[in-house]
Structure 1
Amino acid sequence: MRRAVVRGGDDAAAGAGGGCGGGGAAAQRAVAGVVHHGVHGGGADGEQRGAAPVCGAGAEWISGASGESAAGVCGGGGGCSRGAGAPVVPESLPLGGRDARDGLGGVARQRRGAGGAERVLAGGAGAGAGEEAAVTDPIRVVDVSFRYGRHRALDGLSLSVPGGAICGLIGENGAGKSTTFGILAGWLRPGTGHAEVLGQSPLRLHRLRGAVGIMPQDADFPAAMPIVAELSHYARLQGAGAREARRMAEEALDRVGLADAKGRRGSELSHGMRKRVAFAQATLGSPRVVLLDEPTNGLDPRHARLVKDLIAGLAPAATVLISSHQLQDLQELCTHAAYIHGGRLLRAEALDVLTARNAEVHVRLVAPPDPGAMEAVAGALGAGGTARLAGEWLVCGHGGGMAVHDAVGCVTRALLEAGVGFVEVRPGGSLEASFLESTGGSGAGV
């Protein structure tokens, strides 16, 4: 049995000797009945990250290979043991399209979840410990604080994610993103406050067999085990029989473009292949909550596109929380976003509110227009229409009084008639600009 190894990251445990001294054990995995403790790569927040691909960490299970007890990290499910009752056979991963973004107004945004009920993304700017979301929200973090030694990684963080949403967790290096993931995964125990996933404490995710999938940023795999065997192992831990588990594993690998590589061992995988195997593991079966930490980091454009399409297909059947520095990817994928800074929540709303999608049209210009052209654009948007320059962008406001496609049509028509050249048009601004504005213009390392 190997002990967990902890290496200090960029901001890990300031004043704590460079190691991560916070509570919570390293993620663990079992391979062929032997417990391997996860290796912690540090990370920008000094968070605890399991080296193995983990799913629903914190469960206790009995290895089918040797009967050796382990603090398991599989398929959201523990409580597994050899010969334990009839297997539960999960359905295959739903790959249908997700709902279109709601065209809601300027207050806290709502989205219809898988069950049809309206959900509100709570914990926005000014949210306090007492402002808890409805218990039906699949992901909840309430007034959570966490320290690595003397370094406070989270400082009273409160956040809830509505059912069926794809929510981006956005912050600079050291903001606390991966610490938040570690707490939701059950790898870390909050110092104060509490978290819930599908109504359960993350420390008891074994009660939610197969319902929670987790992809850590730096997943690793057994050097000598074929990846199809490892994914089959995780499917067995969800309750599937041997034949069904093999089918689930092969389908998961096929979805990420690795059908021809199923016999490869962990030592034979490139970085990009490891990322795709980790994603396949996190979405094995039919998870209701999926946590993804930097899912497209290091992927080539073709496979990044593949993974993004698969993420989009998870909702609304699953609720997805994504941490990523690729804000353009998050703007494309997410229905909601939450900004965190210094371990605190700055803002959490639907993406259309954060980017003013329903109130503005942004046009990237070839050259600055003359005042007459800007007046023509503002006039085309009707009473209250505005047009202002922001660098190379022309920001055209219509206050939400027009449908998005109508506003885009009015702006582009006015620009063409005025002879103004442009290279890009998009409803609303960029997620990056919104985040930088919320953080006072900082954002190095986002």
Structure 2
Amino acid sequence: MGLLTFKRGIHPPHGKHLSEHKEIEAYLPKGDLVFPMSQHIGAPCTPVVKKGDKVLVGQLIGEASSHVSSNVYSSVSGTVKNVTPMLTAGGTKVMSVIIENDNNYEEVAPTPHENFKNLSNSELLEIIKGAGIVGLGGACFPTHVKLNPPKECNIDTIIVNAAECEPYLTCDHQLMLQYSKDVTEGLEILAHMYPNAKIYLGIENNKADAITIMKAMLEPIQNIEVAELKTKYPQGAEKQLIYSVTKREVPTGKLPADVGCIVQNVATVVAIKKAVIDGKPLTDRIVTVTGGAVANPKNILVKLGTSLQELVDHCGGFKENPVKVISGGPLMGTALFSLDIPATKGTSGVLCLSSAEAAISEEQNCIRCGKCVNACPMFLLPYKLNSLVLRRDYDSFEKLNGTSCIECGACSFSCPSKRNLTQSCKEGKKQVLARKNNK
């Protein structure tokens, strides 16, 4: 299979050289840990502990309140200091459990299932649901829901997203290099759940070492193979990845399952392995702390709830004051107002940009060059959608499929006039949704 790709897209500077050769380091938190009850798409969890309670590593502290929700577990042992709203990366306050770490890391006894092939799909889904696993690529959709599509959907393809196309981030790359056995076992669990499906591990060709290792690991296994992807952004976006691998197009308003596909992130697959085979819930994840302002960029195995400030300090702090700090990558991440917020299930990176990296030109008038149109992987008209949002014509915005925008930032990156195209599409989508909810 040659290099696979999608139509349109961009080639931004990748910035991965800062951390792509840094092996994963485990970090033990020093201060209190904060566990927001909403670290996923769907309904927030209900706290099941109260102030003064003693908790263990792997103990349930937030229980899913609906089908589309996800449990939250403590990543340390210690005492619950409070249950109160706390600020998160999105700038909103979320009900959270605050735990004082006793540094003993006493664990709840795990319930391993080494012979997972003896388990039914419903039993495996209950284990995955119970472990609080969500999409660790950043979307944070509950995994048990995604792995249980409507019965009328004939799933014949599972694509595991290891593209990691977002600039600067290298956590998934190092995950494959250092945890290739865990990746393989997670893939085998998916193969057991969907014996009639072909499974592809999609890796961009700028990760040649990961491709070599994973090909060797998967070579003896039937129906699982590496799909080598062309390095291009946003190669890891769900619909673009599906097209790259299968040449199937997911229609507007439809889901991957409607075209026979399920897409999971590679880190999510490892979390599935840990939940099923090791019997452990999701309590940690790998985070890339990087950027030109960081003294020593690293890939860190982080206990969920750890302060982002602690992670930056672990990397030697700042060698210069950052102009901007982002949770995630530069194109789809969220700009932070403070580092005094916790690492959550969706924290793939802490990007600290120097003045040279974060230089933003003043917005100019649109010159109708069409570069945004040529870059958009969703075949939209970003310049037109921008104009409609500025005029608050949200009906026309919706008619031009503005709600199909995946907020990848390709249009803004390619615009010579530095128009805030992605930002206006985000606002348009927000207003369309608000108007529908108010009807």
Shorter-chain TM-score range: under 0.3
Structure with bigger strand share is 1
Give the greater-gyration-radius structure (CA).
1
Q: TM-score, normalised by structure 2?
A: 0.28
More helix by share: 2
